[in-house]
Amino acid sequence: MAKTLVGKSARKYWAEAIGTFWLIFAGIGTVLLGSGGNNLNIGIAFGLAVLTAAYAIGRISGGHYNPAVTVGLAAGGRFPAADVMPYILAQLVGGIIAAFALWCIGSGKAGFTVGGFASNGYAAHSPGGFSIGAVAVAEVIATAFFVLVILGITARRAHTSFAPLAIGLALTLVHLAILPVSGASVNPARSTATAVVAAAGGTSWPVAELWLFWAAPIIGAAIAGWAYREIFADE
């Protein structure tokens, strides 16, 4: 085998960083640079981003691109606990770099302002003005079912060749369902990336509200992992 620049043991972390970069770049790019408030376009963009990344490099790392997915797979007994934190760090690095790349591109247009930078929020910062409780419930439920789809379609007895398609469609559906409520996080790396850039541009509320977009998706993912392991697993 030819010698490569990245060692074999590090390839999965690079894959997670690159896959998360693509997810944030394509999804948030559609919000900021393309369709604006068109929820259908945004949902399709996120779904296509995770689908294409999963087909392209998912075989290397498993194609999580999301700390909640990593936690959910670990909770379901499908991912080693020792790799949880390295995966999450790789996802955060990839997402934050993508968000800063979008800031750089957006700054090339006259009149561009960072503002909230498509960050997730609740109450006054929810797209539809939904309360913190409503946002929390939406994020927990949406993440739980998204992770459950991933656990089911990647199971040993499932048709795994269709896994990226099912996962991409599930993420699209999640966005169509809860974009007006929370801006559809279901991914702490996505929320962190936009919050960091917003803070760098002088807007503080995304960081102040970021805790919810870690807590709710992680809780939902853990519930999905438990449910898969205790109710649905057939391996």
Q: So where are the chain's domains?
A: 9-106+116-230
- The structure tokens 């509320």 sit at 205
Query: Quick one: 235 exposed, middle or buried, by C-beta within 10 A (0-12, 13-18, 19+)?
Result: exposed
Q: Tens digit of pLDDT for each residue in 18-73?
A: 999 999 999 999 999 866 568 999 999 999 999 999 999 999 999 999 999 999 99
Residue (of 149, 172, 147) closest to 160 by Cα position: 149
Treating both helix axes as pointing N-terminal to C-terminal, what angle do 212-227 and 67-75 enclose, rounded to 10 degrees? 30
Residue 53 pLDDT: 97
Residue 125 banded pLDDT, cuts 50, 70, 90: very high
What's the CA dihedral at 169, 183, 101, 208 to 10 degrees?
Answer: -140
Which CATH architecture describes the domain 9-106+116-230?
Up-down Bundle (1.20)
What pLDDT does residue 137 have? 98
CB neighbour list of residue 104: distance below 8 Å, 6 or more residues apart: none
User: Percent of the chain beyond pLDDT 70?
Assistant: 95
Predicted local confidence at residue 169, as pLDDT: 97
**Is the confidence at residue 2, as pLDDT, over 80?**
no
Query: Tokens in use for 126?
Result: 């929810």
Assess whether pLDDT exceeds 90 at residue 4.
Answer: no
- State the average pLDDT over residues 71-82: 96
Mean pLDDT value across residues 147-175: 92
